[in-house]
């Protein structure tokens, strides 16, 4: 008997900064945990220009973290993409609200990226949005990865019930 991978979709505005960084980071983490084959991780943007590459700064920040965005191409959120997504992780409240407004019927799948794991185990962070680094230095793009890193163990354990977070007893 086969299984279907759990589909996780990260969403930001243009799908050229935050969401592709988050996608690549979670892919790497899932591979390290040995569960990559059980997940289908993707990204899209609320106002993406189809086919755009990740920004040079996002690519450089990714490279510094051992990630590769060179093949990434932006795509816009569509109903067909949401229908295939078990969990949708929005970079900021504005994305969450846009998704809820534009795609009614998916509200049980849409979360803020920094809150999804927190609803499971710990107190929420003081700031829930992932700041948009567009137009800023590479360090701001690396900050996106730094902010998302603590969420990775709980995202994995939250969608794969048999996997415990690293460091959990």
Q: Which of 12-21, 70-79, 95-104, 155-164 has the lowest mean pLDDT?
A: 155-164
What SS3 state is found at 138? helix
Residue 1: pLDDT above 50? no
Burial 118-140 (b: 16+ CB within 10 A, else e): beeeeeeeeeebbebbbeeebeb
Show which residues are catalytic.
12, 18, 132
Ordered by where they begin, the domains of the chain are: 6-159 (3.40.50.2300)
Tally of CB atoms within 10 A around 163? 17
Taking all residues of the chain, what is their mean pLDDT, rounded to a whole number? 91
CA atoms within 13 A on the CB side of 18: 28
Looking at the chain, the whole-number percentage of residues with pLDDT higher than 70 is 90
Burial 19-41 (b: 16+ CB within 10 A, else e): bbbbbbbbbbbbeebebbebbeb
pLDDT band per the 50, 70, 90 thresholds, residue 168: very low
Strands 39-45 and 87-90, by their bridges, are unpaired
Residue 140: pLDDT above 80? yes
């Amino acid at each position: 008997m086969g299984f279907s991978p759990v589909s996780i979709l990260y969403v930001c505005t243009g799908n050229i900064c935050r969401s592709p960084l988050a996608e690549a980071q979670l892919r790497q983490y899932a591979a390290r945990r040995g569960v990559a084959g059980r997940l289908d991780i993707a990204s899209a943007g609320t106002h993406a220009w189809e086919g755009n590459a990740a920004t040079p700064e996002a690519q450089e920040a990714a490279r510094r973290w051992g990630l590769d965005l060179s093949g990434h191409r932006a795509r816009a959120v569509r109903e067909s993409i949401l229908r295939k997504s078990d969990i949708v992780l929005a970079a900021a409240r504005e994305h969450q609200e846009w998704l809820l407004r534009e795609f009614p019927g998916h509200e049980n799948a849409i979360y803020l990226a920094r809150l999804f794991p927190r609803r499971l185990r710990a107190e929420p962070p003081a700031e829930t949005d992932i700041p948009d680094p567009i137009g800023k230095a590479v360090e701001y793009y690396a900050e996106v990865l730094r902010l998302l890193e603590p969420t990775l163990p709980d995202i994995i354990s939250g969608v794969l019930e048999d996997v415990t977070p690293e460091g959990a007893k």
